[in-house]
Each structure stands twice: as C-alpha cells, then as structure tokens.
Chains A and B, each alone.
Chain A
Amino acid sequence: QQQVKQSPQSLIVQKGGISIINCAYENTAFDYFPWYQQFPGKGPALLIAIRPDVSEKKEGRFTISFNKSAKQFSLHIMDSQPGDSATYFCAASASSGTYKYIFGTGTRLKVLA
C-alpha cells in the first residue's frame, strides 16, 4: 500500500513533442505529490507538485494532472527539449506522520534533437 507505481520505465520523444509520465498510488493518506528531475550524478530537483484538492497544475511547460478517484497522477512536458533529457521521479507523501516521500521507480526520458 506504500508503493507508487510509475510508467513508462523509459521514453523517447522527438523535440517539440509531449512527454507523458504516469504514476499510481494506493494509500489514500497521501496528500502531496511532487515530481522531481534528476540528471546523472546530481541530486533530484523539484519540478512541480500538487495536492489532491486540484485536478491540474501548470508551471511553464510542465503540467500535473491528478485523478483522485483513480488514485493516479501524471506529468506532461509540453514542447519537450533535448535539455529535458533526464530521469523523472514521481513521489507521494502524507502530511500525517513524518512527511516522508515514497518515490516511484523513475522514467528515463530522452528527447531527440
């Protein structure tokens, strides 16, 4: 019940295309869902995060769509660029307790020039 399932494992997108990464969770206590971007040898960096009281949040080219009833959320990267090539992780956290993150398994995105 603590798992966060992420798909696809890897993704190749043409420059200018839309990258879509999906995550699903089971624990209904989760109330914070961030997405992180990680380049090789670096720590993860927060891209965007959402709470269950909204169904969508957009920041620049990055959009999170959230479906509370399905317990799913996704990251959309519009106008994907070669510089977006990285590994993306979704995570989930509950405000009750330690606020610890449960990370998804990661998606390696490659954007072709």
Chain B
Amino acid sequence: GAVVSQHPSWVICKSGTSVKIECRSLDFQATTMFWYRQFPKQSLMLMATSNEGSKATYEQGVEKDKFLINHASLTLSTLTVTSAHPEDSSFYICSARDFGGVGNEQFFGPGTRLTVL
C-alpha cells in the first residue's frame, strides 16, 4: 500500500517550453502533497505544499509563476514548469500524506528527471 506514482519518469524539452509533471497517490487519498527538487549530489529541497482544492504554499525563493501547482483531487497533483530553461533541469520528486493517516509520514514518488536543452 501507500504507493505514489509520477509521470513522466523523464522528460527532455527545449528551452522556452512548458512541462507538466503528474503525481498520483494510487491506493490512498492524499490530504497534502509536497513537491521537491533535487540537484545532483544534493539534498531534497521543498518547493511547495499543496492541499486539495486550495492554492499551493510556496517556499521562500520559489517562483509561483514559474512552477504552477494544481491539486485538483485527493489523488492527483500536477507541477507545471513554465517557460523552462536549462537551469530548471533537475530531479523533481513529489510526496503525499495520507488523508486517513494520523502521522507525519510522507510517501514519495519515484521522481521525474527534467532536462531542458
């Protein structure tokens, strides 16, 4: 149980295009979903927290207009990188917190590798 999927697993795009990454909780409803980015050999940096049906809360320094997050249902959140540039190339990972859970545990997706040419 508690499986989180991400699609696509990797994507290559040209500079200036937009890319959408999906995060789904497969066997549970997610109260809250989190989006992280991870550069090579670095830690996970939280980008934003999203709750179903409400606006995402972005961490300091993360551009809201660049990284659009939509949490339309209890099982799906999307991250759209708008007008992507090479510096946006990174490993993007989502996690989800179980709606029925009582603890702090987050379940992580397998990640999406974004390469912007």
- Show the binding face of A for B, using Cβ within 8 Å: 31-32, 34, 36, 41-46, 49, 89, 93-95, 98-106, 108
Instruction: Give a binary string over B97-108; 1 marks a CB under 8 Å from any A CB, 0 the rest.
Output: 100000111111
Given known A32-B104, A43-B111, A44-B108, contact A100–B93 (CB-CB < 8 A): no
A sample of 21 cross-chain residue pairs with beta-carbon separation below 8 angstroms, ordered by A number, consists of A32-B104, A41-B113, A43-B4, A43-B108, A43-B109, A44-B93, A45-B108, A46-B108, A49-B105, A89-B43, A89-B44, A94-B104, A98-B49, A99-B32, A99-B104, A100-B34, A101-B44, A103-B44, A104-B43, A105-B43, A106-B43
Interface contacts beyond A43-B6, A45-B108, A101-B44: sample of 11 additional A-B pairs, CB < 8 Å, sorted by A: A36-B108, A41-B113, A43-B108, A44-B108, A49-B105, A89-B43, A98-B32, A99-B32, A101-B95, A103-B43, A105-B43
Chain B window 20-46, contacts with chain A (Cβ cutoff 8 Å), 1 for yes, 0 for no: 000000000000101000000111111
CA of A104 to CA of B45, assembled, Å: 10
B26 to chain A, nearest CB (A): 14
Q: Which of B's residues lie within 8 Å of A, judged by CB?
A: 4, 6, 32, 34, 41-46, 49, 57, 91, 93, 95, 97, 103-111, 113
Q: How far is the CA of A86 from the CA of B79 in the complex (A)?
A: 27
Cβ A101 vs Cβ B46 within 8 A = yes
Q: Is B42 within 8 A of A101, CB to CB?
A: no
**With A and B bound together, what is the CA distance between A101 and B97 in angstroms?**
11
Question: What residues on A are CB-neighbors of B34 within 8 Å?
Answer: 100-101
CA distance A31 to B70 in the complex (A): 29
Inter-chain contacts of B46 with A (CB < 8 A): 100-103
B108: chain A residues within 8 A (beta carbon): 36, 43-46
Give the docked Cα–Cα distance between A102 and B46 (Å): 8
Chain A residue, CB-CB nearest to B93:
A43
Bound form: Cα–Cα A94–B104 in Å: 8
Instruction: Choose from B32, B44, B57, B113 the contact partner of A44 (Cβ within 8 Å).
Output: B44
Among B41, B44, B104, B113, the residue within 8 A (CB) of A93 is B104
* CB-nearest residue of chain A to B113: A41
Please name all residues of chain A whose beta carbon is closer than 8 Å to the beta carbon of B105 when the two chains form the complex. Answer: 32, 34, 46, 49
